[in-house]
Amino acid sequence: MQAGNGVQVGPWGGKGGVNPWTFIPSGRICEIRISASGCVDSIRFTYKDCDNVKHHSETYGGDGGSPHTFTFADDENLIEISGTVGVYGGYTVITSLSFLTNKKKYGPYGTTQGTSFSLPVAKGSFGGFSGNYGDYLDSFSVILHPY
């Protein structure tokens, strides 16, 4: 599916969540905050614009879970996103997420139970994210920008 100038890959997860969302940063993603316990409760992104000013996305998801925030170094780039999809609280949701960069792995956050997915990117870049949420992160998609 086309998503602006990129290609959407996914979604992974369930069909629930009454709140659709799309996040396409106007700069480089520099921080991600995930709240998770038995599943991924919410996710929030921070990016820096061309003037090096930080901007936060909305928080996509509910209020539960323990927060985990990780910050990328200036020379650190996302090269893979992976996770699991399973049933939590009677709903099919994203149960875990992990982020791999050229420097380290962040996660998994949540519980690694269910069906796994992985999206490595050898060429191109992560241009944004989308999904649906309610009390949890119900679904998750990635928007890729080819080189």
- Give pLDDT tens digits for 74-123: 999 899 999 999 999 999 999 999 999 999 999 999 999 999 999 998 76
Residues 23-29: what's their mean pLDDT?
A: 93
147 pLDDT tier (thresholds 50, 70, 90): low
Per-residue pLDDT at 30? 95
Give me the residue spans of the domains in the chain: 2-15+29-142
pTM here is 0.92
On the question of pLDDT at 26 being above 60, the answer is yes
Token readout for 46 is 């921070």
Collect contacts of 71-75 with beta carbons under 8 A, ≥24 apart.
71/30, 71/31, 72/29, 72/30, 72/31, 72/101, 73/103, 75/102, 75/103
What homologous superfamily does CATH list for 2-15+29-142? Answer: Jacalin-like lectin domain (2.100.10.30)
